[in-house]
């Protein structure tokens, strides 16, 4: 009898455990799902964090560009200039000897290296942007690209532009990319750059009369220089609470317009 009672007890315990497990499954099935709002809020927080990270990365990139540009200009540029002066002195001492022609070739090579270093320094970050601000830097860069691309240029701006350093840098980079595209792809005869502020918003417009292009096709070609340039312009503006629009018509030209709040976006 003891064995029978023990077997019956084990059976009752097994049934009880199975009933508990079934009740647990039922309770879990009946539990209300997590509210969708929690997932949306988490997604928004993730986007905000990504934007903050992107702003900091761009800031760090600009700081590094500034450092390298100054080193190229001040250190390497001055060293090359000193080498050129020494070569010129040696050439004068050499007179009309065969050595003089070799020295002249060396001087020309150094001149070419100096020009290249200056171009690299300017491409990284023009000192005008830091020393004198956005308007002089834009005017200088437009004139430089007009000479390079062989087009007429016109620059119109307000007397005083008072924007944060981040906004000025973003505006210059957007104009730089737009003008580079004009030189590389547009074949324009005339380019107009307008810069003014309206209701605490900085508005930059770059218009050319070049061959134009299909904007959507260019954006869809991910990985090409043109698509990356367009995406880069839009991203710089977006991170500061602004936007960039590009309008283009085949054989009628292109207009790039950036609208960025004067204070930029708070980094939080």
- Which residue did the predictor score with more confidence, 237 or 3? 237
Residue 208 has what pLDDT?
97
Alpha helices, DSSP H only, in the chain? 2-30, 36-71, 77-94, 98-124, 127-131, 134-149, 165-181, 215-220, 225-239
The per-residue pLDDT for 70 is 75
Poorest-confidence range of 3-12, 178-187, 211-220? Answer: 3-12
pLDDT number for residue 15: 45
Q: Please give the full DSSP string across 219-249, using - where no structure is assigned.
A: HHSTTSHHHHHHHHHHHHHHHTT-EEEEEEE
pLDDT of residue 20: 55
- The pTM of this model reads 0.69
> What does the pLDDT read at residue 56?
72
Residue 9 has pLDDT above 70, yes or no: no
Query: Position of tokens 């040696």?
Result: 90
């Amino acid at each position: 009898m003891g064995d029978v009672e023990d077997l019956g007890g084990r059976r009752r315990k097994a049934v009880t455990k199975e009933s508990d497990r079934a009740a647990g499954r039922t309770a879990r099935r009946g539990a209300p799902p997590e509210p969708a709002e929690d997932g949306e809020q988490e997604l928004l927080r993730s986007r905000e964090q990504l934007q903050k990270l992107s702003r900091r990365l761009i800031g760090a990139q600009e700081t590094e560009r500034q450092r390298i540009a100054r080193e190229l200009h001040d250190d390497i540029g001055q060293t090359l200039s000193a080498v050129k002066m020494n070569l010129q002195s040696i050439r004068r001492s050499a007179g009309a000897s065969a050595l003089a022609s070799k020295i002249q070739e060396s001087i020309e090579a150094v001149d070419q290296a100096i020009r290249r270093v200056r171009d690299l320094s300017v491409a990284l970050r023009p000192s005008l942007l830091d020393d004198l601000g956005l308007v002089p830097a834009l005017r200088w860069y437009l004139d430089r690209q007009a000479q390079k691309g062989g087009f007429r240029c016109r620059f119109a701006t307000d007397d005083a532009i008072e924007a944060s350093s981040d906004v000025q840098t973003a505006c210059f980079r957007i104009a730089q990319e737009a003008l580079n595209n004009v030189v590389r792809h547009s074949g324009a005869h005339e380019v107009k750059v307008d810069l003014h502020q309206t209701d605490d918003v900085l508005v930059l417009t770059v218009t050319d009369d070049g061959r134009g292009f299909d904007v959507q096709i260019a954006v869809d070609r991910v990985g090409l220089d043109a698509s990356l340039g367009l995406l880069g312009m839009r991203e710089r503006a977006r991170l500061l609470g602004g936007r960039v629009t590009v309008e283009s018509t085949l054989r009628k030209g292109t207009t790039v317009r950036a609208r960025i709040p004067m204070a930029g976006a708070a980094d939080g």
